[in-house]
Amino acid sequence: AQTVTQSQPEMSVQEAETVTLSCTYDTSESDYYLFWYKQPPSRQMILVIRQEAYKQQNATENRFSVNFQKAAKSFSLKISDSQLGDAAMYFCAFSAQKLVFGQGTRLTINP
């Protein structure tokens, strides 16, 4: 069975600083996808970034980038120039046979 672990229940960062959220996963699959979703207080789930396992190049989306280490089964999210609107729960998700979410990291942005 696949599992996704987010070891940081809460993180905080000063506005304009950089923060990295950790995610590890366990799988025997070789072909899969990884996602980061953001859930603000409105509870709407918003896709932040997507990474295909067969791609070595790390995905980037504006201020959001990932560090994908396939051998280590690690998929961290880096948010640069943090903004107040980035405050939310962030969920790492793994997808092969089934989409599995981590428990989430609550990110607070300090002004």
What are the residues binding another protein (CB under 8 A)? 32-33, 35, 37, 42-47, 50, 91, 95-104
Q: Which residues pair with 95 in a beta bridge?
A: 33, 99
Residue 82 CB, nearest distance to another protein (Å)?
23
Q: Least distance in Å: CB of 18 to another protein?
A: 25
Least Cβ distance, residue 17 to another protein (angstroms): 28
Residue 79 region by backbone torsions, left for phi larger than 0, else alpha for psi between -120 and 50, else beta:
beta
Indicate the residue among 50 and 78 with the shorter CB distance to another protein.
Answer: 50
Alpha helices by DSSP H, the chain: none
Of 36 and 87, CB closest to another protein: 36
Smaller CB separation from another protein, 5 or 14: 5
Q: In the complex, what is the shortest distance from the CB of residue 88 to another protein, in angstroms, rounded to a whole number?
A: 13
Q: Which two tokens stand for residue 15?
A: 């506005």
Distance CA(66)–CA(35), nearest Å, equals: 10
* Backbone φ/ψ region at 16: left (φ over 0), alpha (ψ -120 to 50), beta: left
